[in-house]
Amino acid sequence: MKVAMILKPGKAKVVTLPNGYKDANDMLIKGSYKEFTSSWWDAKVYTPSGIIRVSEKQEDFLNRKRKESIPYPWKGLNDKLYGMRQGELVTLTGGTGLGKSSVTRELEHWLVKNTDDNVGIIALEEDWRRTVDGILSIEANARLYVDQERDKFSEDTLIHMYKTMFDEDKVFIHAHFGTNEIDDIFAKLRYLIVGCDCKWVVVDHLHMLVSQLAEGDERRAIDNIMTRLRSLVEETGAGLILVSHLRRVDGNKGHENGVEVSLSHLRGSNSIGQLSDCVIALERNQQSDDELESRTTKLRVLKSRYTGDVGLATSLVYDSESGRLSEYTDSELIHEDTESLLPF
């Protein structure tokens, strides 16, 4: 190999002998002249590790493993992203109070209900019971995390829903609220993926991970964490959904007023956008005097490495009674008889 590396590219070939032979002399002694001659003339041109000769890769190109996609709960996202895939890091971002938790709950419930895969959840700002309440609320079409709403359901009904969602031993939740060492969190994340065979993991949220680092430089801390998350996804092939915050924007209007989100608004570091396969932003004017507009969240794709299709994807309307999000197109939302279109 040392000799091959100093020769002009294309001038060195490496002979690979058939199995069972130590060297050319061994083949000569055993009378394998023709086999040695074939090995000699069939020797491939040497290329350094990591460099491939594309002319030799036609079969690999044609017979590659297909990426299986799991659809999102909403058609608008599927039209742009062709679903979500294991081995990808999807970042979900939005301003404070704009519905990141509601969207995350819908995705968690969707993955549990519509796939046979194990799902892991690391929610760093809430107790595991609140996470369970959120998923069961989607199943019940009711805000079970509110005591008064949960009291409307009998214990038998709650047990039935619980068994429906969790009895197959496919949901694993990080059950600790408070400070954690960053290495401990990553150890648990790896355990969920490798030990519990979770094909999908939700991490909510990035900046709680950042707060666990003693470093004073937020950008460097985010770079560190994003690199580790990206490496973990590449190594294990799991699908990871990461929740991230936005920085405050300059000007008179903020994200709570429905400002259009761009990748530059991601808080702390460009590595969030660079290392994510997909970035989905939430936009909502929660301060609008129009009651429908204040409950309508727009999903905007800021990055899609798989399809390259970015821009506004769909609109989700929040039902304050059930806590659910329902998808509507812009034409439906501006219809003069909008009230008849809403499910509440």
Per-residue confidence band for 344, with pLDDT thresholds at 50, 70 and 90: very low
Report pLDDT for 98.
78
Assign 250 a pLDDT band (cuts: 50, 70, 90): low
Q: What is the pLDDT of residues 103-143, one digit of tens each?
A: 999 999 999 999 999 999 998 888 889 999 999 999 999 99
Lowest mean pLDDT among 137-146, 172-181, 230-239, 248-257: 248-257
- Highest mean predicted confidence (pLDDT) among 25-34, 48-57, 295-304: 295-304
Residue 310 — pLDDT band, cuts 50, 70, 90?
A: very high
Q: What is the pLDDT of residues 207-230, one digit of tens each?
A: 777 765 655 677 888 888 899 999
**Mean pLDDT, rounded, for 19-37:** 86
CB 313 within 8 A of CB 304: no
Domains of the chain (ranges, CATH numbers): 2-62 (no CATH), 70-340 (3.40.50.300)
Q: What pLDDT score does 338 carry?
A: 47
| pLDDT, mean of residues 142-163 | 93
Mean pLDDT along residues 224-243: 93
Q: Say what the pLDDT of residue 342 is.
A: 45
Residue 42: the pLDDT is 87
- Average pLDDT (177-190) is 78
**pLDDT at position 95, please?**
82
Q: What is the pLDDT of residue 340?
A: 43
Q: Does residue 321 surpass a pLDDT of 50?
A: yes
Q: Summarize pLDDT for 52-97 with one digit per residue, the tens.
A: 778 888 988 888 888 889 999 999 999 999 999 999 999 999 887 7
Cis ω for the linkage preceding 205 (within 30 of 0): yes
Q: Kindly state the average pLDDT of the residues 189-199.
A: 94
Chain mean pLDDT for the chain = 86
313 band by pLDDT with thresholds 50, 70 and 90: very high
Residue 239: pLDDT band by 50, 70, 90 thresholds?
A: very high
Helices 128-140 and 155-166, packing angle to 10 deg: 100
Confidence at 288, pLDDT banded by 50, 70, 90: confident
Residue 171 has pLDDT above 90, yes or no: yes
